[in-house]
Amino acid sequence: MDAAVLLYTILAVVALHGVAGGGIGKHADSISAAEASVAFRAWFICELLYGPLSAVVRTSILLFLLRLRPSRLDRIVLYACLTTIYIFTAVYFFLNLFQCSPPSFFWRQFTEVDLEGSCARPDMVPKAAIAHSAVSAPSDWVTALMAVRLMRRSMLDWRTKMVTMMFLSLGAVAGAAMIVRIPFVQLLEITPDFLHRTVDVAMWSVIEPCIGIVAGSLPFIRMLFGQRRKRLNRRAESGIDLPELPTSGGIHVSTTWEVQSASMNQNCAVGGHTASVTAFLEDGEREGAQI
């Protein structure tokens, strides 16, 4: 999931640069050629990042499910989903990358009039995006159902099962976000008012992977806090918190009381563990100290 967060951060930074420094969201008659070039460059980079980002998010969730010791049939289903996602992601990535020749013609055509180049049919990328969404959304739903199935058979306590299933089921919401995105994807065809008409698809392209990252991260966050809470409870039950010793001057006189069940002379049992009591004498008290 670290790679997904990194890719998402890059995508968000590039998108914000396209909005602030370019003309994303604006009408064509209200921006300059330089702003249009910045905006289209941001669009191009975000289109390239979207496919791999979605694939990495889904890979992280599927690898987590594979750690739950699924049956042979479950493993086949999970690997089939993963393979399908990567095939369509690769096709979608290269279609976006080579939609123009050279690729930089996609954004440089607005500022360099004499630049030689061309772009493929305007409807090629929208159709590829719809196919990618149509495959990824069912994969998200299958993954969510598999998460519920595998968590029910796991050895975790029922509370952990319910919370983890709820978090992983957010993947179904990510799939729904991809379906909602499809009507807006049809607007990806390059038109004079492209930057204004495609604001909605840009918004859903940012929301959908974010939901996937949250769905894949929350189970681990809960486990992390659960382990931390158990560690703190164990320390509170078995240890004695003493003030920190000064860092300069003085001598340390330490007496350790060993745990023994039969003797009470100089022994003290504290929570079944050995307790250590340390006294500190300042420099002025050294003369009266006996070691």
pLDDT tens for each residue of 196-254: 887 877 887 888 788 778 777 776 666 665 566 666 666 666 654 544 545 444 444 44
What pLDDT sits at residue 191? 66
Q: Which two tokens stand for residue 160?
A: 């952990």
For 187, 193, 230, the CA distances from 100, given in Å and listed in that order, are 18, 19, 56
Q: Closest Cα partner for 46 from 239, 204, 196?
A: 204
pLDDT reading at 8 higher than 80? yes
The residues with which 278 forms a beta bridge, in sequence order, are 254
Omega of the bond prior to 102 within 30 degrees of 0, cis?
yes
Most confident of the ranges 11-15, 229-233, 267-271: 11-15
3-class secondary-structure state, position 53: helix
- The arithmetic mean of pLDDT across residues 137-141, rounded, is 82
Average pLDDT, the chain: 73
Q: Which two tokens stand for residue 131?
A: 């196919």
pLDDT reading at 256 higher than 70? no
Q: Which two tokens stand for residue 211?
A: 């939901």
Do the Cβ atoms of 131 and 185 come closer than 8 Å? no
pLDDT reading at 289 higher than 50? no
pLDDT reading at 80 higher than 50? yes
Residue 25 Ramachandran class (φ > 0 left, ψ -120 to 50 alpha, else beta): left
Q: Closest Cα partner for 121 from 192, 191, 189, 186?
A: 189
